[in-house]
């Protein structure tokens, strides 16, 4: 039986960076070719730059109680074409619920089932969002500043990015004349995924 000591951690990228045992993952635009809708816009940006779209830091506490996985994500503000910066998004490969807690910034959480049912939830500081088992989730930064959020999920839950790369989400979040707009993705086919 492993014994885990209690600890406290600031919800800031710098604190997670300094934490021993935390893994840092950096997603640049070139890593996200299959995820943004406007392929021409992606290639246009990549001719001169390969910006970091988001970073996340994740750790795991192992204990006899089953443990817990946790991560802090920072999505930088901006758009690719008209689509706002976002995470790749994934299904969990095993059953496992997740909680997101918004620390700063503003955005939208896109959710979908394997049957293609979509939901959109606002992300604002001081709020949590529950992601039930079976719902793929992608976070979009619709603000002018970084969107930072904490996520907590059960250890051993794998991340399936391939299904999202192949099918996309039903919703696209794009910059409109009066701010962010959620529109139906023209390439989304629906049907059973995976
Ligand atoms: C989050 C995500 C994190 C990065 O910790 O992994 O926000 O998004 P992608 O994994 O889609 O690149 C989570 O949902 N963990 O399960
Ligand atoms: Zn997840």
Compute, in angstroms, the gap from residue 132 CA to the centroid of ligand 1: 14
Mean pLDDT across 108-117: 96
Compute, in angstroms, the gap from residue 91 CA to the centroid of ligand 2: 7
Q: Is the CB of 71 under 6 A from ligand 1?
A: yes
Q: What is the 3-state secondary structure (H, E, C) of 72-97?
A: EEEECCCEECCEECECCCEEECCCCC
Q: Is the CB of 169 under 6 A from ligand 1?
A: no
pTM equals 0.97
pLDDT band at 194 (very low <50, low <70, confident <90, very high): confident
Q: Which of 11, 35, 87 to mutate to test the pocket of ligand 1 (most atoms within 8 A of CB)?
A: 87
Best CA proximity match to 58, nearest among 76, 70, 75, 73? 70
Residue 193: predicted pLDDT: 87
pLDDT in tens, 47-94: 999 999 999 999 999 999 999 999 999 999 999 999 999 999 999 999
CA 147, CA 143: separation in Å to the nearest integer?
7
Taken in order of first residue, the domains within the chain and their CATH numbers are 13-184 (2.60.120.10)
pLDDT band at 2 (very low <50, low <70, confident <90, very high): low
Task: Say if residue 148's pLDDT is above 60.
Answer: yes
Averaged pLDDT score across all residues of the chain: 95
Mean pLDDT across 4-8: 89
Bridge-based pairing state of the strands 52-61 and 68-75: antiparallel
Task: Say if residue 169's pLDDT is above 80.
Answer: yes
Tokens at 154, concatenated: 């059960």
Residue 190: predicted pLDDT: 80
pLDDT in tens, 30-48: 999 999 999 999 999 999 9
- Cβ atoms of 151 and 159 within 8 Å: the answer is no
């Amino acid at each position: 039986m492993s014994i885990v000591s209690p600890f406290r951690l600031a919800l800031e990228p710098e604190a997670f960076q300094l934490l021993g045992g935390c893994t840092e993952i950096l997603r640049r635009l070139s890593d996200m070719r299959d995820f943004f809708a406007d392929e021409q816009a992606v290639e246009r940006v990549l001719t001169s730059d390969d910006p970091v779209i988001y970073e996340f830091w994740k750790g795991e506490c192992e204990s006899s109680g089953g443990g817990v996985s946790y991560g802090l994500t920072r999505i930088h503000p901006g758009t690719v074409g008209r689509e706002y910066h976002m995470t790749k998004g994934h299904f969990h490969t095993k059953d496992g619920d997740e909680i997101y807690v918004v620390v700063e910034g503003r955005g939208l959480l896109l959710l979908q089932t394997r049957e293609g049912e979509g939901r959109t939830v606002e992300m604002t500081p001081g709020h949590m969002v529950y992601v039930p088992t079976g719902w793929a989730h992608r976070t979009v930064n619709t603000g002018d500043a970084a969107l930072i959020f904490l996520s907590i999920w059960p250890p051993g839950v794998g991340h399936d990015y391939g299904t999202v790369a192949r099918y996309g989400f039903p919703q696209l979040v794009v910059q409109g004349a009066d701010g962010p707009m959620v529109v139906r993705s023209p390439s989304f086919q629906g049907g059973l995924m995976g």
